[in-house]
């Protein structure tokens, strides 16, 4: 496993600026993950968690998919500008790592609600079966041209809570990686690099085919990624609450940083 080392001389930004977000306590974040629901109950549980986090009324929607029994769950945090940032995780797989990531979305949403945002954030729990990216592909393919043009980035969460946060560089845009490293330094956190196989299907790839910059974050180690993803879930590292919360804190701060610093893809 390689580690990304922050070299201060290569970061041409001012660190006097504070990243503005309001993280929940660790106990609240971990409690929303437990217990891990059965696949058939995950959509309803995610909708419940989003409403608990304050995403209610017209802000939360179901996007039904003809080929799947479950729907995409979409929570919208409106911004004052035209730009859109998508934060997504897949909830439709049986290994518990997929639920871990999806269960973070409501808490990340809540961490960003205490301040007016420049970008509109779309928190999407993607439905899926057999890792064919049914939910994410359906979402992207049904965006109108204006929404495609204004979607500035997609932040994809895969397995979370098994080790400190990792980035898969093979599934990530260099500009977003640079912003991530800056966030790591500003929040005094750490980030590791473990590349998922190019053969691994992640929901971020549904966006890159539409030329939308994406980044994939996870917590798998090299032994984990060399084993088949559908292997016995017990072969993965055991869930670790402190690493889970640390990833939550970093991702929330990363999105808050992107909200301020991310520039339009069409006006650079």
**What's the Cα-to-Cα distance from 146 to each of 208, 266, 268, rounded to whole Å?**
17, 12, 18
Predicted pLDDT of residue 167:
95
> Does the model's pTM come out above 0.75?
yes
* pLDDT tens, residue by residue, 182-200: 999 999 999 999 998 766 7
Is the pLDDT assigned to residue 1 strictly greater than 60?
A: no
Over residues 209-218, mean pLDDT: 94
Q: Lowest-confidence range among 44-53, 57-66, 91-100?
A: 91-100
Query: In the chain, pLDDT over 90 holds for what percent of residues?
Result: 69
Q: Is residue 5 part of a domain?
A: no
Q: Is residue 206 part of a domain?
A: yes
Using CA atoms in the order 49, 54, 122, 62, what is the torsion angle rounded to 10 degrees? 60
Indicate the number of domains in the chain: 1
Predicted pLDDT of residue 98:
84
Predicted pLDDT of residue 96:
58
Side-chain-facing half-sphere of 106: CA atoms under 13 Å: 24
Q: Is residue 82 part of a domain?
A: yes
Is the pLDDT assigned to residue 88 strictly greater than 90?
A: yes
Q: Is residue 257 part of a domain?
A: yes
| Residue span of the structural domain in which 248 resides | 15-225+233-261
Q: Is residue 76 part of a domain?
A: yes
Q: Is residue 113 part of a domain?
A: yes
Give dist(CA 56, CA 51) in Å, integer. Answer: 5
Q: Are 249 and 108 in contact (CB under 8 A)?
A: no
The phi, psi pair for 39, rounded to 5°, reads: -55, -40
* pLDDT tens, residue by residue, 3-23: 443 433 344 444 446 899 999
Which among 13-27, 207-221, 223-237, 239-253 has the top mean pLDDT? 239-253
Query: In the chain, pLDDT over 70 holds for what percent of residues?
Result: 84
Q: Is residue 6 part of a domain?
A: no
User: Residue 44 belongs to a domain with what CATH number?
Assistant: 3.40.630.10
Band of pLDDT at residue 66, cut at 50, 70 and 90: confident
* pLDDT tens, residue by residue, 38-59: 888 999 999 999 999 999 999 9
| Contacts of residue 8, Cβ cutoff 8 Å, sequence gap at least 6 | 185
Token pair, residue 266, equals: 């069409």
Predicted pLDDT of residue 11:
45
CA angle 137, 109, 47 (to 5 degrees): 65
Q: Name the packing angle between helices 241-261 and 26-33 (round to 10°).
A: 110
Is the pLDDT assigned to residue 76 strictly greater than 70?
A: yes
């Amino acid at each position: 496993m390689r580690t990304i080392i922050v070299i201060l001389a290569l970061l041409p930004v001012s660190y006097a600026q504070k990243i503005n977000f309001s993280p929940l306590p660790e106990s609240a974040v971990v409690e929303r993950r437990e217990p891990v629901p059965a696949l058939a109950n995950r959509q309803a549980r995610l909708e419940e968690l989003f409403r608990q986090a304050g995403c209610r009324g017209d802000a939360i929607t179901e996007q039904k998919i003809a080929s799947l029994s479950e729907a995409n769950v979409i929570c919208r945090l409106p911004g004052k500008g035209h730009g859109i940032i998508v934060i997504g995780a897949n909830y439709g797989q049986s290994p518990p790592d997929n639920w871990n990531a999806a269960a973070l979305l409501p808490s990340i949403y809540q961490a960003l609600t205490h301040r007016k945002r420049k970008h509109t954030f779309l928190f999407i729990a993607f439905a899926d079966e057999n890792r064919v990216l049914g939910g994410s592909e359906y979402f992207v393919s049904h965006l109108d041209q204006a929404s495609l043009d204004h979607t500035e980035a997609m932040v994809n969460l895969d397995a979370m809570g098994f080790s400190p946060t990792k980035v898969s560089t093979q599934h990530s845009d260099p500009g977003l990686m640079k912003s991530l490293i800056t966030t790591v330094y500003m929040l005094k956190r750490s980030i590791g690099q473990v590349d998922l196989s190019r053969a691994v299907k992640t929901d971020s790839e549904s966006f890159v085919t539409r030329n939308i910059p994406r980044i994939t974050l996870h917590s798998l180690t090299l032994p984990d990624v060399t084993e088949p993803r559908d292997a016995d879930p017990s072969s993965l590292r055991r869930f670790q609450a402190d690493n889970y919360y640390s990833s939550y804190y970093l991702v929330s701060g990363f999105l808050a940083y992107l909200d301020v610093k991310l520039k339009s893809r069409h006006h650079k």
